[in-house]
Amino acid sequence: MTANLSFIELVIEASFVVQLVLVLLLLASIASWAIIIRKHRLLRAAVSDSDAFESSFWSGGDLTAMYREITSRGGASTDMAGIFEAGFREFRRLKAQDGLSAAQTLDGSRRAMRVAQLREMDRLEHNLATLATVGSTSPYVGLFGTVWGIMNSFRALGNVQSATLAMVAPGIAEALVATAMGLFAAIPAVIAYNRYADQVGRLEIRYDTFAEEFSAILQRYVYSGEQERRQR
């Protein structure tokens, strides 16, 4: 083994365990980048769709017309429009039933919106745990490869009379490649996880706020209708 080795030569001439560690870290890096790209598109679409829906919702349009428009497109199973659709659908269904109080109708609508919101949050949070796992474990996996490579280098020195830096340098260099690969896999995953977890948390707050505001609108509608019936 010569002291002047390129990165590829270091990988090729590394021990089997170090090569296995490098392959695992490479696969983890590829998987995390696939999640990063897909999650970026998903969250960007969720924010954009929520902005568009909120702008339409607070423009003062008729809620029934908005609901019919959403259902005519096949329904909105995700984002804020999906929460609105689930809540308003349950509200209309319960309101049409006899014997239910206003509180029961509102409670049913809130539960429907909560279920829709939980499904949306599960969709947004999917694979975030994988990024966290890659980000937290990759440096240790790389460190394991480094320790193994250095152990092999020093064990080889036991068979020679006089050790020189040129003899041990290639083995240490190939071992340190594992540490570098671990950081290469971990750093983007940690950055992406922190960023996306923050975006998901902000979206959850927006969904909670919208559900409460929409519930307040339905509550005013229900109780105003009850007052009109009593006055008659």
Range in 74-78, 212-216, 217-221 with the lowest mean pLDDT: 74-78
Q: List, for residues 108-138, the tens digit of each pLDDT value.
A: 999 999 999 999 999 999 999 999 999 999 9
* Ranges of each domain in the chain: 7-231
pLDDT of residue 166: 60
Where residue 225 falls among pLDDT bands split at 50, 70, 90? low
DSSP for 65-106, written as a single string: HHHHHHHHTT---SHHHHHHHHHHHHHHHHHTSTT--HHHHH
Where residue 142 falls among pLDDT bands split at 50, 70, 90? very high
Distance (Å, rounded) from C-alpha 139 to C-alpha 137? Answer: 6
What Cα–Cα distance (Å) separates residue 20 from each residue in 12, 31, 100, 122, 181?
11, 17, 65, 34, 12
Burial class (CB within 10 angstroms; exposed 0-12, middle 13-18, buried 19+) of 82: buried
Q: List, for residues 34-74, the tens digit of each pLDDT value.
A: 999 999 999 999 999 999 999 988 988 888 888 888 888 77
pLDDT-above-90 percentage for the chain: 50
Residue type, 34: A
| Predicted TM-score (pTM) of this structure | 0.82
pLDDT of residue 3: 43
Contact 145, 21 (CB under 8 A): yes
Residue type, 230: R
Where residue 226 falls among pLDDT bands split at 50, 70, 90? low
Contact 79, 50 (CB under 8 A): yes
Residue type, 67: Y
List the helix and strand counts (H, then E) for the chain. 7, 0
